[in-house]
Amino acid sequence: MERWTFLVIAGPDEEPAQLRVRLRHGDDPTSWPTAQVAMDGTEVPADDATHDYEAPEWKAAQLLEGGGGAARLEQVKDDLRSRVAS
């Protein structure tokens, strides 16, 4: 079973600015593949900025702009899946 975390990172205006997506795979959190995207869906370098809150997947997809949030989120998840050693 896949376990996902969707962390919303607020910008200076306190509005959602980025989304950190993490595939919780295995017992070592430092090895979990992570991606970070801006709200327009562009990938940005993953960092350790403090997140504002953890969102459910439907909310994370809703926050991504352009109406294609769910599709973009699936692309990010597919990329993270490909990083997991089988």
> Smallest Cα–Cα separation from 41: which of 22, 23, 18, 21?
18
Domain extent at residue 25: 4-83
Residue 54: the pLDDT is 97
Residue 4: the pLDDT is 97
> Per residue in 21-53, pLDDT tens?
999 998 888 889 999 999 999 999 999 999 999
Which range, of 10-14, 28-32, 46-50, 73-77, averages the lowest pLDDT?
28-32
- The structural domain count of the chain equals 1
- Report the C-alpha gap between 43 and 21 in whole angstroms: 11
